[in-house]
Structure 1
């Protein structure tokens, strides 16, 4: 995959760190903390190139359903073939509504995230502290 996408040194490092972390999670009965990686840089630095390489890798090892791409705006989400983080993680749904017994919005959130093992939030710098608090809260419901 690295050769196919001709990833540069920094892109290759980010790609390999993520792939290695994912493959380590396959080991049975081994509890590992979540892997977190910030891939920063201005537009045109190749972040989407890394995302495309990850999609191909996950597809080749039959793990594509685990990969979930999001972004804060519709345009940025469309650019990475994902959905908005607000939709995917129910950020606009009241917490009180989410935690009600038999909550349809909670079930919808669970259904969307059920197979997700890798969540990518592109253009994360458009999100504020309150958004990150909601993201953390909602993915832990």
Structure 2
């Protein structure tokens, strides 16, 4: 994303469509935090719309696919990208398992055990983030940190509590 303007190559709003469904207050809070973190710092540029942002992103689920509807800040539609969630299933499942282990370890494990589990958790998160970048390649340019924040949001959308 070299040469692009950071003021325009970014998201200023992320909305979850009603197809996502609502959940418990704790999960809704986690979703709100993930969205806040994503909006706070990101680098996001649809390949077909060079420098015409900033952008709004509306996420929805259709037939187990994540729909990313991108519009300019004024609401003008830019692109809709449908992302199969199949490549993420194993990563998200493993990520949740290791997160559970991490939260259990915090209560009783040694600092070195906690650190080892956390390294595994970060590794899975990085794998999911890179998978997301690869799946968006040629359609939407995001830097790795933005992909990490988007992957966090995808994980939270799958969290059932």
Identify whether the pair has TM-score above 0.5, normalized to the shorter chain: no
Q: What range is the shorter-chain TM-score in? A: 0.3 to 0.5
TM-score (norm: length of structure 2): 0.31
TM-score (norm: length of structure 1): 0.34
